[in-house]
Amino acid sequence: MESRGGPRVLVVGGGIAGLAAAQRLCGHPDIPHPRVLEATARAGGRIRSERSFGGVVEVGAHWIHGPSQGNPVFQLAAKYGLLGEKELSEENQQVEAGGHPGLPSASYASSGASVSLQLVAEMASLFYRLIDRTREFLHSTEPPVPSVGDFLKREIRHQAASWTGDEDAKKLKLAVLNAFFNLECCVSGTHSMDLVALAPFGEYSMLPGLDCTFPGGYQGLTNCMVASLPEDVMVFNKPVKTVHWKGAFQEAALPGETFPVLVECEDGSRFPAHHVIVTVPLGFLKEHLDTFFDPPLPTEKAEAIRKIGFGTNNKIFLEFEEPFWEPDCQIIQVVWEDSSPLEDAAPSLQDAWFKKLIGFLVLPGFESAHVLCGFIAGLESEFMETLSDEEVLRSLTQVLRRVTGNPRLPAPRSVLRSRWHSAPYTRGSYSYVAVGSTGDDLDLLAQPLPADGTHAQLQVLFAGEATHRTFYSTTHGALLSGWREADRLLGLWGLQVGQPRPRM
């Protein structure tokens, strides 16, 4: 890698955070030659769209959450012409959904009966009222209970004491509530809401706008970002093994020049640099904490990485010859009548993993196929990843036959699913603030190194969704974190952000 003067900057990871940082740096002539080292053969990371079933499916990120002017992903997508008229409309941008998913259009119970949508709406209203109430504990140093799950259960127990009606009706209410707990696990990317810390939960911020999708696939966004970079910026199939810092590294081609950072790759290649922006997922960092940094990270930073939560949410797409749902159906909920959020059941993975599946979205936009997208979080989701496609298809066919009460329901034609926990360069889906951690840990993770000011500054910088205190787990949080770190570097070098200086 030849030097053309000016700081040499490397970015590790070509997801939206890494691409955002690279875009910002490449817009600046004084940063001569940034490179993005990406472990896999493609850019986008957890933004991943695949052509399948005669359309596009989102294996990773699905929606722009809060698509309105304050959302940089929305802005960028609009700039690249990737959104339709409806997504761009003022009306869409002004919707305040409060971050709550839409209500199901059909709710099937495990006995084969359908659940009254009025009952579902009542339980949804109770559940989301309680979710909204978690904000009461924002920044509270001594919340009454440690987790969101504990709080929800305490309040539900309280309310259930005054429910009238027979035992079966009460049991059904709890079973419907359990389905909302499972849904919230998907939203938070966690095994259980008992793992999600109560006090910081309300720090996650919602933007206005009705969540929308990319008609041509989310990955169109990261593809456009890559296309905007000079050709040799992206280096694919370059898994980084260790980031050496606080060093004095040299390069044969540049005798006399020393670099404080050396990025060593799995294939043995070594890249000296002044600065490296690390954007690898928190799941990868957790797994490789002991070997990824040399010298190791300061204790508090390593502790923050251990403490912040990072769980699994997966999607299972099922393709049907003919729909068994009504034409206007958008969301199908599945309710297991023997389940209750008030009973702690150890997960029975082998026999009952599918009970964690929350139901399905009916996907629009396929030519001749009819496609459902199921969501499943937690340990059951991770177990599902170990099964074969045939096993998943067989189990879900049985589930659908049971809940629709139709033992002859034709099996899906094919299945496609994500496996984010097994993905070696991700190891899960997204982060959450776990019991035992706070928003300060996300800020701590975002702090550059070294922290002491005695060495060359900003050797290792950190971006990625887990480093954004209020927008963690989202694409816009990741994008903003990439810009943040690029701007931090430009600031160090006294370069004006967003206004490339003309070359003299």
Ligand X SMILES: Cc1cc2nc3c(=O)[nH]c(=O)nc-3n(C[C@H](O)[C@H](O)[C@H](O)COP(=O)(O)OP(=O)(O)OC[C@H]3O[C@@H](n4cnc5c(N)ncnc54)[C@H](O)[C@@H]3O)c2cc1C
- The residues binding ligand X (CB under 6 A) are 12-18, 37-40, 45-47, 60-63, 65, 239-240, 279-281, 284, 313, 315, 418, 420, 425-426, 429-430, 464-465, 473-475, 478
- Report phi then psi at 262, rounded to 5: -135, 120
- 228 class by beta-carbon count within 10 Å (0-12 exposed, 13-18 middle, 19+ buried): middle
3 state DSSP class of 65: coil
- Residue 173 or residue 244: which is nearer to ligand X going by CB? 244
Alpha helices in 363-492 (DSSP H): 378-386, 389-404, 439-446, 475-492
- Residue 64 or residue 495: which is nearer to ligand X going by CB? 64
- Residue 53 or residue 284: which is nearer to ligand X going by CB? 284
Q: For residue 288, what are the β-bridge partners?
A: none
What are the DSSP calls for 133-188, one per residue? HGGGGTT-SS-SSSBHHHHHHHHHHHHHTT--S-HHHHHHHHHHHHHHHHHHHHHH
State the minimum distance, in angstroms, from the CB of residue 314 to ligand X: 6
Q: How far apart (Å, rounded) are the C-alpha atoms in residues 44 and 385?
A: 21
Q: Contact 263/243 with Cβ under 8 angstroms?
A: yes
The H-or-E segment that residue 217 falls in is none
Q: For residue 359, what are the β-bridge partners?
A: 333
What are the DSSP calls for 448-470, one per residue? -B--SSSSSS-SEEE-SGGG-TT
State the minimum distance, in angstroms, from the CB of residue 405 to ligand X: 30
Strands (E), 165-312: 234-235, 240-244, 261-265, 270-273, 275-278, 293-294, 309-311
Tokens of 112: 């084969």
Report the half-sphere exposure of 123 (CA within 13 A, side-chain side): 28
State the minimum distance, in angstroms, from the CB of residue 432 to ligand X: 11
- Residue 325 or residue 375: which is nearer to ligand X going by CB? 375
- Residue 438 or residue 473: which is nearer to ligand X going by CB? 473
Q: Contact 315/375 with Cβ under 8 angstroms?
A: yes
Q: Contact 43/308 with Cβ under 8 angstroms?
A: no
- Residue 425 or residue 493: which is nearer to ligand X going by CB? 425
State the minimum distance, in angstroms, from the CB of residue 28 to ligand X: 20
- Residue 220 or residue 281: which is nearer to ligand X going by CB? 281
State the minimum distance, in angstroms, from the CB of residue 84 to ligand X: 17
- Residue 31 or residue 234: which is nearer to ligand X going by CB? 234
- Report phi then psi at 319, rounded to 5: -105, 130
Q: Contact 396/316 with Cβ under 8 angstroms?
A: yes
Give whole-number Cα distances, 383 to 159, 180, 312, in Å: 34, 21, 11
To which residue do tokens 């990270």 refer? Answer: 297
Tokens of 48: 């991943």
State the minimum distance, in angstroms, from the CB of residue 47 to ligand X: 5
Q: Both ends of the chain: CA-CA distance in Å?
A: 24
- Residue 134 or residue 426: which is nearer to ligand X going by CB? 426
- Residue 7 or residue 477: which is nearer to ligand X going by CB? 477
Report the half-sphere exposure of 173 (CA within 13 A, side-chain side): 20
Tokens of 431: 């982060």
- Residue 175 or residue 485: which is nearer to ligand X going by CB? 485
State the minimum distance, in angstroms, from the CB of residue 117 to ligand X: 25
State the minimum distance, in angstroms, from the CB of residue 48 to ligand X: 8
- Residue 20 or residue 449: which is nearer to ligand X going by CB? 20
Q: How far apart (Å, rounded) are the C-alpha atoms in residues 176 and 340?
A: 8
State the minimum distance, in angstroms, from the CB of residue 504 to ligand X: 35
- Residue 286 or residue 394: which is nearer to ligand X going by CB? 286
